[in-house]
A and B are shown apart, each in its own frame.
Chain A
């Protein structure tokens, strides 16, 4: 079964500095491709910045968003993500509001899960063409796409 995450969190103060740091960090995400392939539960994941800071003369945003479609319960595989990308999570959280309190994530898994829940917005509506197909099933049927 596919699930959605709509995680929207304020960037910690000082916002401009943290925004820049986050922007840089997100550039490195391509290097994590293989890890996400290996865990194999995420259909799509995208990070974006929201809410431009209108008071700033530079381009600065005040919120970070992560939208994903993934298979299974959040709790079932969150440990695996943490095993593989603990450092990345810690690095991101450093710049997010309230994030310091759940670092290091691998030792604060319950708090981290609650943190993600807290900033997960319920969508008003969603459409799924194939709500029951998993990443694994799709890859099994189309091995050449891997």
Chain B
């Protein structure tokens, strides 16, 4: 275990685990819950942080563990959820900075590309409705553990009809940390000041101040921790997203363009990494494996035009790494990503199997407007931020594309290979903006 030399140390045992560490568990279940009885809900929440693992599964914190647990558990609340808890005293969010959380994911949908088929009125499992109050996420080593913990939680939250299960979303790891479309994921994460890590890959980018990921008082941050402190301090926000992937459509595009560019090369250009995770920035011509320590140790300073890694590729859009080549700063827009695929691996022999697959994504930050939403709005779904993008082009993997207007440019030194008329490959099937309180915050909720 190594600690980044930089202080201050965060109170890890008070912070929910998923904010600061990846669990690397085999399965996940996200419960979407409605509070029907505030007192009963508070009892349930209190039990999750009572320290008594016999009575109830316990919330996982970011405290160091010697032995990996069988399960991890985290809880988040929508703004409606906080209201449904009928807390005594004011918990108002006066600052505009927390407006996205207050308004909720459905109200913000149009801003970030949740339109047409992806619009909130089509979301699944009651997501996007006022009934969504709690996001309870169980990660488990295997499906037996997942079922057993789920069973315990269900019997606890149903007591006295306190909490009603609106839906749940299950995910499971694919081999080799792949996500659908076949890419290896989970490589790039911000290095966060004061957070101990086992395996932080070397990274050319700046260490990110902790206040971008955990609500703490800091003279340099652009927010003040709302009051009461005990509720908000050491908490964070998450954009939970159910993102369906059109794998057959994506593979078709790769094949359709095969006379112009090899399918593997096109897949790499669209993402910015080869499917095995090797970044184009370091290896533009071949996916020959590189040592792990190199996989996140690069930037785009020697590749302004995007000859090696297209400026429009998914990873270069969502983290341009060098501020001097785009509008605005990059350092203020880092996010922590925790995602798990859902649906079985895609079988190229039965492309039209009718099975839904995608990603259950958790995007964590303290300023949803400045970090998560900014990335979606300005970088994924627009082109003005860079001088090297075709007007109105969007992220080819994630953007809200339509065949009438889609474009993706892959320049080389002399010419530019352009593909167009491709559809949107990742659709939003649900979303929720949740607050992830600290352990102190959860106790505050239980007692107020």
Contacts and interface: CB of A to CB of B under 8 A. Distances in A.
Interface of A: 1, 37-41, 71-72, 76-77, 79-80, 82-84, 86, 104, 106-107, 109-110, 134-141, 143
B387 A77 contact: no
Contact of B328 (A1, A41, A86, A106): A41
A40 B324 contact: yes
B378 interface: yes
Given A80-B332, A83-B332, A40 B220 contact: no
Interface string B208-236: 00000000000111111000000000000
B384 A71 contact: yes
Interface residues of B, number: 28
Interface string B312-341: 000000000001111111011000000000
A143 B325 CA distance: 11
Contacts of A140: 304-305, 386-388
Interface of B: 95-97, 219-224, 304-305, 323-329, 331-332, 370, 374, 378, 384-388
Tell me the dominant secondary structure on chain A's binding face: helix
Contacts, number: 74
A69 to B, nearest CB: 14
The B interface is mostly helix, strand or loop, or mixed, namely: loop
A141 B374 CA distance: 26
Among all A-B residue pairs, the 8 with the closest Cβ atoms:
A140-B387, A136-B387, A137-B387, A80-B329, A80-B328, A110-B96, A77-B328, A106-B222
B327 A41 contact: yes
Contacts of B327: 39-41, 71-72, 77, 134-136
B385 A83 contact: no
Nearest to B388: A140
Contacts of A71: 327, 384
B95 A110 contact: yes
23 contacts: A1-B384, A37-B324, A38-B323, A39-B323, A39-B328, A40-B326, A40-B328, A41-B328, A72-B327, A76-B374, A77-B328, A79-B222, A83-B222, A83-B329, A106-B221, A107-B223, A109-B97, A110-B95, A134-B387, A135-B387, A136-B387, A138-B387, A139-B387
